[in-house]
Structure 1
Amino acid sequence: MNRAFLLAGTALAGLLALGGVARADSVGELQRQLEQQRQQIETQRQLLQQQEQQLRSVEERLQSLQVVNRNVELKVDGIEAKGKDAPVLTVRNGRPTFTSADGQFELSIGGRIHLDYAQYFQDEGPANALVPDRRPAAAQDLNSGVNLRRLFVNLSGKLWNDFEYYIGYDLGGGSAALDEARITYTGFKPFVIDAGYIQTGGPLEDRIGSQDFLFLERSTPTNVATSIASGSTRAAVGARTFGDNYYASAYLTGPTIGVNTSTTDDQQFGGVATAAFQPVSNDVWQAHVGASVGYVFTPNSNGTLAPGSRSGITLSERPEQRVDDFRSVSTGAINADSAYHVGLEAAGQYRNFALQGEYYFYGVNEDRLNTGQSDPRFEGYYVQGSWILTGERRRYDQSRAAYQRPRPDRPFNLANGTWGAFELAARYSYIDLNDGDRPGQSCFSGLGTGGSDVGAALPNTTGCVRGGAQAVTSVALNWYPNLNLRFVLQYQHVDIDATNNTVINAAGGPLLPGTVDTGYDFHVLGLRSALTF
Structure 2
Amino acid sequence: MPANTGQIGGDDMQWLNGELAAVNGRWTFQAEYLGSYMTDAAPIVGNVIQPAQGDVLYQGGYAQVFYFLTGEHESYDKLLGAFTRVTPNENFFVGRDECGNVTGGGIGAWQIGARYNYLDLNDDGFNGGILHNGTLGLNWFLNPNMKFQFDFMATHRDAPLAGDLGDGWVYGWAAAGRWISNRLLSNQRNTGRLVAGGSTSTFSATSGGGGMSIPGVMAAASHLAVHSGQRSSMTHL
Q: What range is the shorter-chain TM-score in?
A: 0.5 to 0.7
Following the alignment from structure 1 to structure 2, what is the Cα–Cα distance between the partners of residues 408 and 417? Answer: 13
The residue number in structure 1 matching 2:4 is 330
Q: Write the deviation string for residues 100-123 of structure 1: whole angstroms up to 9, x where unpaired.
A: xxxxxxxxxxxxxxxxxxxxxxxx
> 1:517/1:484 Cα in 2 relative to 1: closer, same or farther (>3 Å)?
closer
- Secondary structure in 2 matching 1:387: strand
The letter of the residue matching 1:422 is W
Is the Cα contact below 8 Å between 1:499 and 1:516 reproduced in 2?
A: no
- Aligned to 2:130, which of 445, 459, 469? 469
Gaps of 5+ in 1: 1-326, 437-463, 502-514
Aligned-pair distance for 1:398? 2.3
The residue number in structure 2 matching 1:497 is 158
Is the Cα contact below 8 Å between 1:341 and 1:362 reproduced in 2?
A: yes
- Secondary structure in 1 matching 2:140: strand
Is the Cα contact below 8 Å between 2:41 and 2:54 reproduced in 1?
A: no
The letter of the residue matching 2:106 is T
Aligned-pair distance for 1:490? 0.2
- Aligned to 1:423, which of 111, 127, 130? 111
- Secondary structure in 2 matching 1:375: strand
Q: Which of the pair has the greater relative contact order for Cα pairs under 8 Å at 6+ separation?
A: 2
- Aligned to 1:383, which of 63, 83, 92? 63
Aligned-pair distance for 1:405? 3.3
2:21 is equivalent to residue 341 of structure 1: no
Higher strand residue share: 2
The residue number in structure 2 matching 1:524 is 172
The letter of the residue matching 1:399 is L
- Aligned to 1:353, which of 27, 31, 38? 27
- Secondary structure in 1 matching 2:8: coil
Is the Cα contact below 8 Å between 2:41 and 2:55 reproduced in 1?
A: no
Following the alignment from structure 1 to structure 2, what is the Cα–Cα distance between the partners of residues 481 and 330? Answer: 39
Following the alignment from structure 2 to structure 1, what is the Cα–Cα distance between the partners of residues 91 and 12? Answer: 50
Is the Cα contact below 8 Å between 1:500 and 1:516 reproduced in 2?
A: no
Is the Cα contact below 8 Å between 1:430 and 1:469 reproduced in 2?
A: yes
Aligned-pair distance for 1:517? 6.2
2:143 is equivalent to residue 478 of structure 1: no
Gaps of 5+ in 2: 43-49, 95-102, 182-237
Aligned-pair distance for 1:522? 1.8
Following the alignment from structure 2 to structure 1, what is the Cα–Cα distance between the partners of residues 107 and 60? Answer: 38
The letter of the residue matching 1:336 is G
- Secondary structure in 1 matching 2:114: strand
The residue number in structure 2 matching 1:398 is 78
Aligned-pair distance for 1:334? 0.3
Q: Write the deviation string for residues 329-359 of structure 1: whole angstroms up to 9, x where unpaired.
A: 1111001333232122222111111111122
Is the Cα contact below 8 Å between 1:411 and 1:418 reproduced in 2?
A: yes
The letter of the residue matching 1:347 is A
Following the alignment from structure 2 to structure 1, what is the Cα–Cα distance between the partners of residues 65 and 113? Answer: 6
Following the alignment from structure 1 to structure 2, what is the Cα–Cα distance between the partners of residues 385 and 375? Answer: 34
Is the Cα contact below 8 Å between 1:432 and 1:470 reproduced in 2?
A: yes
Q: Write the deviation string for residues 354-393 of structure 1: whole angstroms up to 9, x where unpaired.
A: 111122222123465745x421111112110000111111
- When normalised by structure 2's length, the TM-score is 0.64
Aligned-pair distance for 1:426? 0.5
Aligned-pair distance for 1:474? 0.2
Following the alignment from structure 2 to structure 1, what is the Cα–Cα distance between the partners of residues 164 and 31? Answer: 34
Aligned-pair distance for 1:407? 1.0
Is the Cα contact below 8 Å between 1:334 and 1:366 reproduced in 2?
A: no
Is the Cα contact below 8 Å between 2:120 and 2:131 reproduced in 1?
A: yes
Is the Cα contact below 8 Å between 1:424 and 1:477 reproduced in 2?
A: yes
The 5 Å alignment of 1:501-516 reads: none
The count of residues paired between Structure 1 and Structure 2 equals 166
The 5 Å alignment of 1:81-230 reads: none
> 1:367/1:376 Cα in 2 relative to 1: closer, same or farther (>3 Å)?
closer
The residue number in structure 2 matching 1:411 is 91
Is the Cα contact below 8 Å between 1:495 and 1:520 reproduced in 2?
A: yes
Matched-pair identity in %: 27
- When normalised by structure 1's length, the TM-score is 0.30
> 1:483/1:341 Cα in 2 relative to 1: closer, same or farther (>3 Å)?
same
Following the alignment from structure 1 to structure 2, what is the Cα–Cα distance between the partners of residues 489 and 370? Answer: 47
Higher helix residue share: 1
- Secondary structure in 1 matching 2:143: coil
Following the alignment from structure 2 to structure 1, what is the Cα–Cα distance between the partners of residues 85 and 26? Answer: 12
